[in-house]
Amino acid sequence: MESQEKIKIRVCQGTTCFVMGASRLEGLETQIPPQWRQKVEISAQPCLGMCQKAGFMKAPFVRIGDEIIGSATVDSVLEKLSGIFK
Partner 1 sequence: MIEDEAVFIDIGTAQQKKNGQNAYGDFIASKRYPEECRLIAVLSDGLGSGIKANILANMTATMLLKFAAAERNLIRAAETVMNALPVCQVRKISYSTFSVADCFEDGTVRIVEEGNPEFLHLHNGKVVAHECERIASQKFPERSMRTYVLHLEKDDRLLFCSDGVTQSGLGGSLYKLGWRREGLIDFVESRLASDPVLSCRRLAQEVVGEALTKEPDRLAKDDISCMVLHLREPRSLVVFTGPPYDSNRDAEYVGLFMRYPGKKVICGGTTANVVARELNREITTERFVKGSLPAGSRMDGVDLITEGVLTLSKAVEYLEDDPAVLPDDAAGRLVGLFLDSDEITFMVGAKVNQAHFDPDLPLELELRKNIVRRMERLLTQKYVKQVLLRFI
Going by C-alpha positions, the residue among 39, 33, 32 that lies closest to residue 2 is 39
Distance of closest approach, residue 70 Cβ to partner 1, in angstroms: 12
* Interaction between residue 18 and partner 1 (CB under 8 A): yes
Going by C-alpha positions, the residue among 19, 40, 25 that lies closest to residue 84 is 40
Q: Contact at 8 Å (CB) between 59 and 23?
A: no
Chain length of the chain: 86
- Interface with partner 1 (CB under 8 A), residue from 36, 39, 44, 74: 44
The span of 11-19, 30-38, 62-70, 74-82 binding partner 1 (CB under 8 A) equals 11-19
* Interaction between residue 9 and partner 1 (CB under 8 A): no
Torsion of Cα atoms, 42 then 48 then 53 then 59, to 10°: 60
* Interaction between residue 45 and partner 1 (CB under 8 A): yes
* Interaction between residue 33 and partner 1 (CB under 8 A): no
Amino acid at 25: L
- Interface with partner 1 (CB under 8 A), residue from 11, 62, 64, 72: 11
* Interaction between residue 31 and partner 1 (CB under 8 A): no
Amino acid at 72: A
